[in-house]
A = this chain, B = another copy of it.
Amino acid sequence: MTETSFNPSSLSTGAATGYGEPVTDCATCVVRNRAICASLDAEELALLGRLGRRQRVKAGHTLLWEGDDALVVANVLEGVLKLVVASADGREQIVGVVFPSDFIGRPFGKESPYSVTAMTDAEVCIFNRKSFDDFASAHPDLQHKLLRRTLDELDRARHWMMLLGRKSAEEKVASFLLEMSERLSGQGCNSGARSGFELPFGRQQIADILGLTIETTSRQLTRMRAEGLLDLPSRREIVINDRAAMEALAG
A positions within 8 Å CB-CB of B: 83, 85-89, 91-93, 95-96, 106-109, 113-114, 137, 140, 143-144, 146-148, 150-151, 153-155, 157-162, 164-167, 210-211, 251
Contact = CB atoms under 8 A, between A and B. Distances in A.
Given A140-B143, A251-B88, A165 B108 contact: no
Given A83-B158, A85-B161, A158-B85, A109 B151 contact: yes
A224 to B, nearest CB: 20
Nearest to A207: B165
Max count, chain B CB within 10 A of own CB: residue among A92, A143, A157, A210: A157
A217 to B, nearest CB: 13
Q: Please tell me how many copies of the chain the complex holds.
A: 2
Given A113-B155, A161-B161, A251 B87 contact: yes
18 contacts: A83-B158, A85-B158, A85-B159, A87-B162, A87-B166, A93-B166, A95-B159, A96-B158, A106-B151, A106-B155, A107-B147, A108-B147, A137-B144, A146-B147, A147-B147, A150-B150, A157-B157, A165-B210
A183 B95 CA distance: 23
A223 B223 CA distance: 38
B154 A150 contact: yes
A158 B158 contact: no
A148 B88 contact: no
B151 A108 contact: yes
Given A87-B251, A143-B140, A211 B164 contact: yes
A95 B251 CA distance: 18
Most buried by B among A144, A153, A154: A154
The 5 closest A-B pairs by CB, nearest first: A165-B211, A164-B164, A95-B158, A140-B140, A85-B162
Contacts of A91: 166
Contacts of A83: 158
A162 to B, nearest CB: 4
A229 to B, nearest CB: 19
Nearest to A148: B108
Contacts of A88: 251
Q: Which of A86, A137, A158 has the most CB of B within 10 A?
A: A158
A86 B164 CA distance: 13
